[in-house]
Chains A and B, each alone.
Chain A
Amino acid sequence: MITFSERQLKTPKFMRPVYLVTAGQSKYARAIPEKRTEELCVDALTMAAELLGLTPAELKRYIHSCYYGHFADHFGDQLLGEAVIHDRLGLDPLGNIGIKSGGATGGSTLWEAAKAVASGYSDCVLAMGWERMDEVPTDEGNFLIASAADRDWESPMGQIYTGYYAVMAQKYWQVFGKAEASFRRTLAEISVKHHGYGRFNPFAHGGMEITVDDVLMSPLVADPLRALDCCLMSVGAACAVLCDEATAMELTKDTKNRPLRIWVTAGSHTLRPADRRNMDIPLLPNEAPDQYKDLAKEFPGGERYPGFTGFLAARMAAYYGYRMTGITDPTEDLDVIELHDAFTISDVQTYEDIGVRPYGRGRDYVESGDCYHTNPHTGKPGKLPSNLSGGLIGCMHAVGASGIMQVFEIATQLWGRWAEIHGDKKRWEEFGREKPEDWTDLQVKGAKRALSISHAGVGSHVTATILMDPDHLLKKDA
């Protein structure tokens, strides 16, 4: 049983407001042999400057300290790669630090960057994340990824991370999914949705027009998960620039980027799911104290919390984030979200962890059509569209960049610049990609508040990044 002290549950507080003023990203692909990682980071920073109508040199003049997210050093055989990138970006001798927290690295990088501004240490910071996993064959790649599991208790077994993760998927599938064919189809629908949205994103490399049956007939990876249920493995870089209020106003003056308030919170849970102990469910503001008293009756096998079916780290990131920003019901208060869809089934688990649906009811978010840009059942706007970028399944998963890519995406939504940035024919051509004939504008009309979840492996680290238009805050002193 684990319990919290009141101090541990303190609502986090920034000492002053923090703003996101711009963001940028490189092209994403399975492999980019023609470019060094440094070149991809230069591409991302150059784009961030362009969105403000600045040259990179002009934007760099504002930056005071730098936060670099890169997870898998051992793939590149280069420790302290941050120093290489920092030098190539021409940001020496400013202070910089590397951040790594598995799949949540991008989110954790923003967490550090935001705190640096909130504390007053810096007025303007760069958060940059990247990854490259294209330079090893699959077997060796699997081995290197398995090093992120416990080296004595897990990795020796098969050296295959999917196996350590998929035991949790199996439990969710049987307990909350009741191993129903209809639930299997709902999972497939998520893959169709994310590959489909990926088609309209020029940065993405997972865009595909597929059907539920294509997903159900794709090769089995770890039952019930199939190849098309899994995220991509990608190369690329993404960045964001965070500022205090005065700098944010100055940098965004006469630009199309409204400065957006940003908050980042984090949770964690053991590297080995084996070590998870039972506890009471920490409740989100939209959940009632007795809400889950019959959960195990309704879903036999669901007695343990978080057991192997919930991600406590995601629940805690939301717990802190919602209280920090005044969110009471994410579905009502938010307009667009990006979730860490490592697998279709973990996407569903996350809906529950962050309170978009109660535990056990995640599938309804998809089945109701709420998660779509346009609800396929009603033809009306989806209530809370998710992963319009394509997510990790349809856009990319370049680990250190993923959490920043998500924030880039929701920021373009809140700026109302989604169509301009994703529809630009020149960008499609520059990336060597063909803009589809049926390209569709996925701008969420009037979006003012957004959330992204960055998540590591079996749930060891999770961050929640919340963006709001400063004229649409939910809490005065947030």
Chain B
Amino acid sequence: MSSYGQVQVKNGRYKFRGDFHRLEQHMPIRDADNGWRLVGVTKPRDMTYVHTYGGEAEFFEALSQGKLLATKCDNPACESKGSIFQPFRIHCPDCLAKNAVIDMTDVAKKKATIHTFMVCARSGAFNMLDKPIRFINVEFEGVSTILFSYLLLGEPKIGMRVVPVFKRYNPTYTILDLSWVPAGTKAEELPEGYSF
């Protein structure tokens, strides 16, 4: 009987519990066109990676609470002083001082537009989004960078106003907890588990 690998941090170290890999038999690869001679073998591999969000953890925690956090350089000596970064950058890319964390949920609700987009019918293994995926890059007034995300409802257009929605029910604690809908979308139109 196997159990999901689970991890906690205790006394400053990772504590691992459960199974982090599964053992499977190698299989021969044979050449169907040449007398079934041996070409090679398969190497099954199924394992769980463990990964810290470090200084970005509060950003991902906030998504599950319906908040969009960004950061801002407040270093008076920095040439980029006042720059707001979304994606959330822990340190200012110019002065490397620790940025201040700001809540930009309101800005996102009022001043977000689609900078560019892509509707993609394909995906890779381990994809969790419904297809086609409507990738969008969201531009905010007063923010120096542009956020990569996806449109949950509607069809994207460059310049279209969008508002954020959050997966507050059963969050994944990943960037997938944040998505966008066209401005004017009503709460009852949102899929289950998502809210403004």
Contacts and interface: CB of A to CB of B under 8 A. Distances in A.
A158 interface: yes
Contacts of A156: 128, 174-176
A105 B8 CA distance: 38
A220 interface: yes
Interface of A: 1-3, 33-34, 77, 139-146, 151-154, 156-164, 166-171, 174, 220-223, 272-278, 301, 308
Contacts of A223: 118-119
A163 B135 CA distance: 7
B102 interface: no
A139 B124 contact: yes
Top 8 A-B pairs ranked by shortest CB distance? A142-B124, A159-B124, A171-B116, A143-B124, A143-B125, A163-B120, A139-B125, A166-B118
B117 interface: yes
Interface of B: 29, 31, 39-40, 43, 45, 51, 53, 56, 60, 79-80, 83, 85, 87, 89, 93-94, 115-129, 133, 135-137, 144-150, 158, 174-176
Contacts of A145: 124
A308 B116 contact: yes
B158 A301 contact: yes
A273 B149 CA distance: 12
Contact of B175 (A2, A144, A152, A221): A152
B124 A274 contact: no
Nearest to B156: A170
A167 B80 CA distance: 27
A144 B40 CA distance: 21
A274 B135 contact: no
Contacts of B40: 33
A160 B148 contact: no
B131 to A, nearest CB: 8
B118 A140 contact: no
Given A34-B39, A308-B137, A154 B148 contact: yes
Contacts of B137: 167, 273-274, 308
A350 B79 CA distance: 30
Nearest to B147: A274
Contact of B124 (A3, A146, A152): A146
Contacts of A301: 158
Nearest to A147: B124
